């Protein structure tokens, strides 16, 4: 377990598969990042694929253009949410983020669902 006193020495990669989230992405992504200020560095990896039929990709690219912590990963075909998580994890590891906490990684889907239910 990481205690608050040590968060400033921890880098956090957040992997968030998204599909058809244009109506919530513009508020959700900044809200998540705003709650991660205690970490040394933070990156949010938003993974989308061709199952997205709205303008989520454009919304996320717009956010990424003004915030270097946001990475938009486009997958040309839908291989399911598990593959989207794996793709995001691989991108995060390629950027130097490491697995911690016995190999477990934070799953943002639960956070996203909770956030949508309260907003």
Question: pLDDT tens digits, residue range 97-108?
Answer: 766 554 444 444
**Which CATH number do you get for residue 111?**
3.40.50
Report the half-sphere exposure of 28 (CA within 13 A, side-chain side). Answer: 26
pTM of the model: 0.76
Average pLDDT of the chain to the nearest whole number: 79
Q: Is 100 left (phi over 0), alpha (psi -120 to 50) or beta?
A: beta
CA distance 50 to 57: 10
Q: Encoding tokens for residue 38?
A: 């205690």
- 49-76 mean pLDDT: 92
CA distance 111 to 71: 18
66-77 pLDDT, tens digit each: 999 999 999 888
- Domain holding 23, by residue range, is 4-118
Structural domain total, the chain: 1
Is the confidence at residue 112, as pLDDT, over 60? no
């Amino acid at each position: 377990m990481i205690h608050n006193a040590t968060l400033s020495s921890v880098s956090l990669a957040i992997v968030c598969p998204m599909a058809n989230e244009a109506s919530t992405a513009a508020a959700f992504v900044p809200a998540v990042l705003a709650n991660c200020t205690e970490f040394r560095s933070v990156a949010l990896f938003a993974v989308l694929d061709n199952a997205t039929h709205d303008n989520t990709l454009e919304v996320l690219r717009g956010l990424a253009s003004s915030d270097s912590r946001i990475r938009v990963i486009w997958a040309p075909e839908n291989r399911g949410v598990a593959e989207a998580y794996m793709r995001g994890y691989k991108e995060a590891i390629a950027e130097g983020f490491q697995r911690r906490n016995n190999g477990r990684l934070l799953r943002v889907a639960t956070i996203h669902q909770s956030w949508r239910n309260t907003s």
